[in-house]
Structure 1
Amino acid sequence: MTQQQQVLALRPATELDEAFLCTVYRSVREPELLAIGWPEAQIAAFCNMQHRFRTAGYRDYKPPVECTIVLWEDTEVGMLAVCRDTERWLLVNIEILPHARGKGVGTAVIARLQREAEAEGVGLQLHTNCNSPVLRLYERCGFTCVASEGDVQRMEWSYGSPYASHKHVN
């Protein structure tokens, strides 16, 4: 077991995690919202509303999305949302708080998901904006672009492909 595997833990999200999940969501959206010039109250209201909509939308996936809390060195640092189908798993979302980015957390989470998918004999798929900084992480973790529509890329990691290396830092 590598050192990164020892410091990474995932646990199912519960209703008690809603405030934390909203904080994580906000941390991802805040830079673009600050650039708009919105006041704090409007940013907070928007992020709360969008988080509720997203959480409700997770219920529409078949099978439903599993939302987990990412812990790094026993501290909550992010969230992972995955839809596990029998043929391919969809990485719906991965979000890491700013203070935990660049430390290998995202790479470790994806490597763990890849090992689990490999054990089940399935591949992984995700959708991302082609201008997103997280695109580099996905490419380092062995995902390849299989389709593009506008600014959105569909990326896949095939069962049996090499997966995320802990030599690289997210």
Structure 2
Amino acid sequence: MHALPLSDLAHVLTSLPAPCQLRLQRDDDDDFAAALYRSTRDDLRQMPAEPAVIEQLIAMQQRMQSHGYRQAYPHAAYLVLQHGDTPIGRLILDRQGEVLHLVDIAILPAAQGQGAGSAVLRGLQAQAGAQQCRIHLAVNKSNTAARALYQRLGFRLRGENEVQEQLEWKAP
């Protein structure tokens, strides 16, 4: 494995609709990362428990996810998707040989459906195609909107378990 230089993401960076941009995640993005993670965990917020307990559980799950990603993908690029100066999402990418692994992509609910996620994915596809790479990702089966987007963009099923589908895209 090797680190994924930001220069390898040129197609992604140039494909974003103005005023969206990607930048490397910084230490001062921790609060945003926590808020973004919380926004993806409606499943936990629906549990029959005290709100404080649920918030502790969400924080614990975020720490476990972050630790797991850093263990499994030590050379991954952590990127923040911004609309102007406002962070709206995050992307974690890892390149392993001929596979560009989209470890995680998350966009705040208020920013979804506005084209930024599609543009990021199309940019990744352009980059992967130019480098003759495949893109791998996993998506929760319950995330019907993301699954539909991936299908529209040509991702195909390469495996599944009870919770997730593993998808692949390769240039035609």
TM-score, shorter chain, exceeding 0.5 = yes
What pairs up with 1:25-104 in 2 under 5 angstroms? 25-29=37-41, 31-62=42-73, 64-104=75-115
Task: Give 2:139's aligned residue.
Answer: 128
Could you report, residue by residue, the CA deviation over 1:35-61 in whole angstroms, capped at 9, with x for unpaired residues? 213333222212222212211222222
The aligned length equals 159
Q: Please report the TM-score for the alignment, with normalisation by the length of structure 1.
A: 0.83
Q: Tell me which moved more, 37-46 or 66-75.
A: 37-46
Q: CA deviation at 1:154?
A: 1.1
Runs of 4+ in 1 over 4 A off after TM superposition: none
Tell me the CA shift for residue 117 of structure 1: 1.7
2:148 aligned with 1:148, yes or no?
Answer: no
Alignment of 1:4-15 (within 5 A): 4-15=16-27
Distance in 2, matches of 1:126 and 1:10, equals 19
Name the structure, 1 or 2, with higher relative contact order (CA <8 Å, separation 6+).
2
TM-score w.r.t. length of structure 2: 0.83
Q: Which of the residues 121, 128, 137 maps onto 1:117? A: 128
Offset from partner CA, 1:118-163 (integer Å, 9 cap, x none)? 22221101112223221111111211112222232111000x23xx
Give the RMSD, CA atoms, in angstroms. Answer: 2.1
* Gap regions ≥5 residues in structure 2: 1-13
